[in-house]
Structure 1
Amino acid sequence: MKIEDILKERILVLDGAMGTMIQRYKLEEKDFRNERLKDHPHPLKGNNDLLSVTRPDVIKEIHRQYFEAGADIAETNTFGSTWVAQADYHLESMVYEINYQAAKIAREVADEFTAKEPHKPRFVAGSMGPTTKLASMSPDVNNPGYRAITFDELKGAFKEQAKGLLDGGVDMLLPETITDTLNVKAALFAIQELFEETGRQVPVMVSGTITDASGRILSGQTAEAFLVSVSHVPLLSIGLNCALGASALRPYLQVLNEKSSFFVSAHPNAGLPNEFGHYDQTPEQMAGEIEVYLKEGLVNIVGGCCGSTPAHIKKIAEVAKKYKPRMVHGPLSMVHGS
């Protein structure tokens, strides 16, 4: 059954934080190395995406916990898997492999659950984070015209990532936590080009990040401007994630609900971090805040970002079952496969 058809019938649940779960394993430098990387001269601890290659057992277990909690969609462990982000660890040469292995692991676990519950198919979304560089803003206040990366460099980086994810078996691609609209334009351009070259297409989800109370993403667009700037691509969904807790995201989801002809997604953080950088919002509190969206019919896909765990997703999934999905306005023909 196609995800587009399921989304018309019920709200789908995305998984929660990967990094929050990895922290629980108290991994050491050796966990981030295998035979091939044993003499790599740079520290690798903290490069969580690399664990799909060096500790696939850990990543599989995390995916399993989220599916057991009720998630319909697992995100691959590839948030920082472009050469732009992997350059911090001098691992640009491993980008394709990291994406391919992460997708393969998530696919295996998803298929395992689908086989057990064919009426509730599980999906894999290839997570494509924003990279570590902005295309539309200068990192140097004294030189506003300077750019740390070009559009073409970003396009190449995202294309290599998307190829690894597609070859590894993802059901859809998800450029997410977007802080710079030009970065996601590069990602979407890369994805479209890859689809044309390979003759293979999967649905594309896009999720932006409102960075502060002004209601804008980092490169200055409002939720509506952000929607307009990506609407030239036939998306499966548009949404918001990270940065704010669930209640603070609501007004921006209302905008997307009103203006979007795509499905709408939300995966907020578990509240805002405390002074130690930890998230204190309980699963019950988070599910309660998300229930407000569901009552208002604002979303089709809902999950968690930073600080959320399988316990949070379990509560969110329980609440999501009670509500009907948002009705999609406008031409549904814009969605792939409809």
Structure 2
Amino acid sequence: MTRDDRLKALNTALASRILVLDGAMGTMIQKHKFTEEDYRGERFKDWQQPLQGNNDLLVLTQPDAIRDIHTAYLEAGADFAETNTFSSTTIAQADYAMEHLAYEMNVEAARLAREACDAIATPERPRFVAGAIGPTNRTASLSPDVNDPGARNVTFDELRTAYAEAAKGLIEGGTDVLLVETIFDTLNAKAALFAIDEVLEELGVDVPVMISGTITDRSGRTLSGQTTEAFWYSVRHSRPMSVGLNCALGADLMRPFVSELSRVADVPVSVYPNAGLPNEFGEYDETPEQMAKALAAWADDGLFNIVGGCCGTTPDHISAIARAVEGKTPRKIPSLEKRIRLSGLEPFTASANFGKAAAE
């Protein structure tokens, strides 16, 4: 099945049922208890600095383990396998002096996810690779120095270049959609979306984009200060396949913000919360049954079209969630009145008479 065939099937499925994303890659990697030597493998055994914790490197040194994690999630009921590329940019890989490997990581990660999807897929139910593009470890909107509010440790063009390389690698490796996720700084996301537009035009391909932001606490704002509605207005120009929220919060705390996004977004909405908030040991306590019960209620209220899990979730969580939403009607995409919709930290929607009043 070609990418075009899969995208046709994806659009059909998205219109008819709730689709399921996979769960946390990091949580599953931790279960393997990989040592420094495991991270290095034979290829990087003499690397000049520690590599343990560079989970994206495992697509090169422990590919079978990464493929098996994808397979476990797909067998649990996931429609999407997210690539193990959350930090596969030159900017993030600089921490390990592996900038030059970022492109290869994206290609290989997408290839592994593609292999897992193709092995599980059937003509009646194809599986899709979501090429994950994380936020990097730098922010274009915020200063790293509290004494110098105007300071920045990355520029828009540096982000744009890094994101373009990642997107090209993911497409080469066989991704079906690009997932710009865990967005805490909207300007970073804008750089990613701009870069993706340039790459798609350069390659002459049509790859849908999913966008997922992160509300960092109960204030209902991203780290760079935007409300959920303002965040959507900042990125809606990119005409994404979906928009949603992930990470930071568990299902109980995330609901009001997903509800707000569901009200204002005229595209499918995705949601993949953490398995609760981390406890004092940094672990996640929300059980599969608890998550599934909460998300099933959201589905009954028509809040989303795509659902999955973030930090702390496992194949057991995804299996429970998939069963809980099976047969439920996906969120109906609202038809919104045409208005001028702007954003700063807060949203602004012009009144219906704005254009008429201006003309007069």
Pick the TM interval, shorter chain.
over 0.9
Q: Hey, what does 1:29 align to over in structure 2? A: 36
Counterpart CA distance in 1 for 2:278 and 2:74 is 25
Which secondary structure state, in structure 2, belongs to the residue aligned with residue 177 of structure 1? Answer: strand
State the match for 2:292 in structure 1: 287
Output the CA distance in 2 between the equivalents of 1:44 and 1:229: 36
Q: How far apart in 2 are the matches of 1:310 and 1:35?
A: 30
Task: Give the residue type in structure 1 aligned to 2:51.
Answer: L
Alignment correspondent of 1:50: 57
**Alpha carbons 2:9, 2:126 under 8 Å: kept:** no
The residue aligned with 2:24 is 17
Please state how far the C-alpha of 1:130 moved relative to its aligned partner.
0.4
Spell out the pairing of 1:317-332 with structure 2 (5 A cutoff): 317-330=322-335
Q: Distance in 1 between matches of 2:220 and 2:178?
A: 25
Q: CA RMSD in A?
A: 0.9
Q: Which amino acid aligns with 1:329?
A: P
Residue matched to 1:150: 155
TM-score by length of 2: 0.90
Distance 2:42 2:219 in 1: 48
Residues 257-266 or 36-45, more deviating? 36-45
1:229-244 to structure 2, matched below 5 A, reads 229-244=234-249
Cα distance in 2 for residues equivalent to 1:194 and 1:330: 30
Contact 2:56 2:85 (C-alpha < 8 Å) held by counterparts: yes
> Per-residue CA shift, 1:196-217, capped at 9, x if unaligned?
1110121100000000111000
Is the contact made by 2:304 and 2:330 (CA closer than 8 Å) also made in structure 1?
A: yes
Q: Is the 8 A contact 1:4 1:236 kept in 2?
A: no
State the shift of 1:328 in Å.
1.1
> Structure 1, unaligned stretches of length 5 or more?
332-338
Match of 1:214 among 212, 219, 240: 219
Aligned match for 2:302, one of 270, 278, 297: 297
Moved beyond 2 Å, runs of 4+: none
Residue in 1 that maps onto 2:106: 99
Question: Residue type matched to 2:38 in 1?
Answer: D
Map of 1:79 onto structure 2? 86
Determine the C-alpha separation between the residues in 1 that align with 2:131 and 2:225: 26
TM-superposition CA deviations, 1:236-258 (whole Å, max 9, x none): 00000000001211111111111
Question: Which structure would you say has the larger RCO, counting Cα contacts within 8 Å and 6 or more residues apart?
Answer: 1
Pairwise mapping of residues 166-181 of structure 1 onto structure 2 (< 5 A)? 166-181=171-186
Q: Is contact 1:175-1:205 (8 Å) kept?
A: yes
| Alpha-carbon distance in 2 for matches of 1:148, 1:256 | 31
Tell whether 2:193 aligns with 1:197: no
1:335 equivalent in structure 2:
none
Match of 1:269 among 245, 267, 274: 274
Find the residue that maps to 1:327 and give its secondary structure. coil
